[in-house]
Amino acid sequence: IWWLDPELTYGNAKPFVFTQGHSVCNRSFFPCFDTPAVKCTYSATVKAPAGIQVLMSATQSTYLEEEGVYQFYMEYPVPAYLVALVAGDLIHADIGPRSRVWAEPCLLPTAISKLSGMVERWLTAAESLYGPYIWGRYDIVFLPPSFPIVAMENPCLTFIISSILESDEFLIIDVIHEVAHSWFGNAVTNATWEEMWLSEGLATYAQRRITTETYGAAFTCLETAFRLDALHRQMKLLGEDNPVSKLQVKLEPGVNPSNLMNLFTYEKGYCFVYYLSQLCGDPRHFDSFLRAYIEKYKFTSVVAQDLLDSFLNFFPELKEQCVESKAGLEFERWLNATGPPLAEPDLSQGSSLTRPVETLFKLWTTEPLDSVAAASSVDLTKWRTFQTVLFLDRLLDGSPLPHEVIKKLSECYSSQLDSMNAEIRIRWLQIVVRNDYYPDLYKVRRFLENQMSRMYTIPLYEDLCTGTLKSFALEIFYQTQNQLHPNLRKTIQQILSQGLNPLPAIDTTAVTTDTPAMVLEDKVSEATNGAISLRDVNVSA
């Protein structure tokens, strides 16, 4: 349960509270069987002060104004982690026949402009693929930047971090992913957290089918290329033999399942589902199977064998061909082998969008640097967000870059990037930090002074503390810590406390000698387990 003082909200007017149950946190909210294997209906009575709007992930709700009492009822069985509550200074607007958006008053106009009419379009596309939407309403509530992940698929009421509103393409993908969870994860749920890919891999596949139907194959392939790049980046960091890269992960006693949320769950799971769809020859045949799968198992929890047995029974000709035992691509190997996916999708339909990225990257990274004129003529403001972040991610992978290259990059693109969304800006600023490019350091400070969300602060602090700029990071943190949620503050303190040996600040007011003690009085010596995943995953539960 996250309690926020008014100053941690956008409006700074009223306190705010929300819950985050995934994966095993709702045991601290109410007594429950906190496992996805158990589902039940629920009802709740919530009393709140006047002026505080209360919402829950429920199909029915009433409000007795004179008593200040809200009553909620979820008529369909759900696992405990999907029970969710939010309360604060929230107002709403309808954005479709069965959807409304909730947000703080200062954010509502932006939310309406981004999503009006869009959610119904996505729901209709999903229904054409996977059958009726069974939850009644699909509402969205935008939460303050303290929300610890990007989005959460609470039935009837998707939670999304407000910070993502400025990044249109990421907003589209994140909402469509949560829409897909209405079928895969909410209606049919993984019975154990050791097989989280049954929700995330299938939801990612369904998300990409929906985006293909609504935005075309090229856009879907571009987004997939961006995510698979991130998967391989994470693979290099973790190592190919790391057991967390299995689809069927073994949960040791005392391990929080949320620690296993990584790109393998999403992207390796997606690649397996995509492989199954390719065995059918036509993705529409696989859509038919998934509709039957949902109809058979809705409101229950399943294991991988349920999915695979159903698949082979639905396609007896594939069963006769023993596709489950095809050499090198055995279903068992997909589930239990470490390392990258055994097969990846053909993304050639996205070449019109990915080829310019590859061309520009080669111009900047091929020695000698003779092609600056050609490279500088590229106008990144004309690119899609996913093209720009793919380009910047590849530059990040190659950092540190030669000083001449980073200097020319800044001259060509820095002013263009300044006006772009936070998903783009944070990547450019990480390049600045990893290359110790002092002329643009003031932009890092300005960015961190205006960000309160985990996803836009942790990666920069990690990079600052990995290199020679820890004292610079200490100074910024000391000046901004009061605007951060205590949980985020503690995480940054952990990052700053590792190998603490402050250096002189760069082009800034000197850090006083007592700053480290003041900032790090509660320092923790252990490294945070989530550092790698936080750096490389834009997590949507």
For residue 152, count CB atoms less than 10 angstroms from its CB and return exposed for 0-12, middle for 13-18, buried for 19 or more. Answer: buried
Do 154 and 88 share a structural domain? yes
Do 464 and 394 share a structural domain? yes
- Higher-confidence position of 504 and 309: 309
Which value, to the nearest 10 degrees, does the dihedral of the CA atoms of residues 278, 273, 250, 535 take? 120
- Answer whether residue 461 is part of any domain: yes
Q: Which of 296, 311, 334 is the last residue of a domain?
A: 334
- Answer whether residue 507 is part of any domain: no
> What was the pLDDT predicted at 377?
84
Share of the chain above pLDDT 90, in %: 87
Q: Find the CATH number of the domain harbouring 287.
A: 1.10.390.10
pLDDT at 286 over 80: yes
What domain range includes position 113?
Answer: 1-180
What's the mean pLDDT in 383-402? Answer: 97
For residue 502, count CB atoms less than 10 angstroms from its CB and return exposed for 0-12, middle for 13-18, buried for 19 or more. Answer: middle
- Answer whether residue 521 is part of any domain: no
- Answer whether residue 531 is part of any domain: no
pLDDT digits (tens, 9 = 90+) for 68-96: 999 999 999 999 999 999 999 999 999 99
- CA angle (280 as vertex; 277, 282 as ends), nearest 5: 80
Q: Which of 103-117, 330-344, 371-385, 512-526 has the lowest mean pLDDT?
A: 512-526
What's the mean pLDDT in 256-278? Answer: 94
Distance of CA 415 to the CA centre of its chain: 27
What's the mean pLDDT when you consider all of the chain?
91
- Answer whether residue 503 is part of any domain: no
> What was the pLDDT predicted at 202?
98
Q: Domain tally for the chain? A: 3
pLDDT band at 367 (very low <50, low <70, confident <90, very high): confident
Do 154 and 107 share a structural domain? yes
What is the spatial distance between Cα 190 and Cα 444, in angstroms, rounded to a whole number?
41
Question: Cα dist. 238→366, 396, 398, 455, 495 in Å?
Answer: 28, 17, 18, 20, 19
What's the mean pLDDT in 495-504? Answer: 65
Q: Which of 59-73, 313-327, 493-507 has the lowest mean pLDDT?
A: 493-507
> What was the pLDDT predicted at 259?
82
- Known binding-site residues equal 177, 181, 200
pLDDT at 439 over 50: yes
pLDDT at 146 over 80: yes
- Higher-confidence position of 532 and 327: 327
Do 240 and 129 share a structural domain? no
- Answer whether residue 489 is part of any domain: yes
pLDDT digits (tens, 9 = 90+) for 147-178: 999 999 999 999 999 999 999 999 999 999 99
- Answer whether residue 323 is part of any domain: yes
The type of residue at 332 is E
> What was the pLDDT predicted at 500?
56
Of the candidates 400, 426, 395, 397, the one whose C-alpha atom is nearest the C-alpha of residue 538 is 426
Do 167 and 138 share a structural domain? yes
Do 195 and 121 share a structural domain? no
Answer yes or no: are the C-beta atoms of 398 and 362 closer than 8 Å.
no
> What was the pLDDT predicted at 105?
98
> What was the pLDDT predicted at 467?
80
Q: What are all long-range contacts of 239-246, with beta carbons under 8 Å and residues at least 24 apart? A: 240/338, 240/339, 240/340, 241/338, 241/339, 242/338, 243/338, 245/338, 245/339, 245/340, 246/335, 246/336, 246/337, 246/338
- Higher-confidence position of 506 and 411: 411
> What was the pLDDT predicted at 503?
36
Do 328 and 392 share a structural domain? no
- Known binding-site residues for Zn(2+) equal 177, 181, 200
> What was the pLDDT predicted at 407?
95
Do 156 and 272 share a structural domain? no
> What was the pLDDT predicted at 422?
97
- Answer whether residue 117 is part of any domain: yes
What is the spatial distance between Cα 54 and Cα 86, in angstroms, rounded to a whole number?
6
What's the mean pLDDT in 128-154? Answer: 97
What's the mean pLDDT in 484-498? Answer: 94
Q: Find the CATH number of the domain harbouring 470.
A: 1.25.40.320
Do 176 and 52 share a structural domain? yes
The model's pTM: 0.92
What is the spatial distance between Cα 424 and Cα 391, in angstroms, rounded to a whole number?
10
Of the candidates 84, 50, 88, the one whose C-alpha atom is nearest the C-alpha of residue 67 is 50
Q: Which of 33-37, 237-241, 507-511 has the lowest mean pLDDT?
A: 507-511
Q: Find the CATH number of the domain harbouring 139.
A: 3.30.2010.30
What's the mean pLDDT in 185-190? Answer: 98
Residue 407 CB partners (closer than 8 Å, separation 6+):
437
Q: Which of 410-419, 470-479, 513-522 has the lowest mean pLDDT?
A: 513-522
| 454-466 and 486-497 helices, crossing angle to 10° | 10
pLDDT at 369 over 80: no
Do 247 and 122 share a structural domain? no
pLDDT digits (tens, 9 = 90+) for 307-334: 999 999 999 999 999 999 999 999 999 9
Measured over the CA atoms of residue 65, residue 66, residue 70 and residue 73, the dihedral's sign is: negative
Do 90 and 121 share a structural domain? yes
Of the candidates 206, 218, 187, 201, the one whose C-alpha atom is nearest the C-alpha of residue 125 is 206
Do 67 and 17 share a structural domain? yes
Catalytic residue numbers read: 178, 266
Share of the chain above pLDDT 70, in %: 91
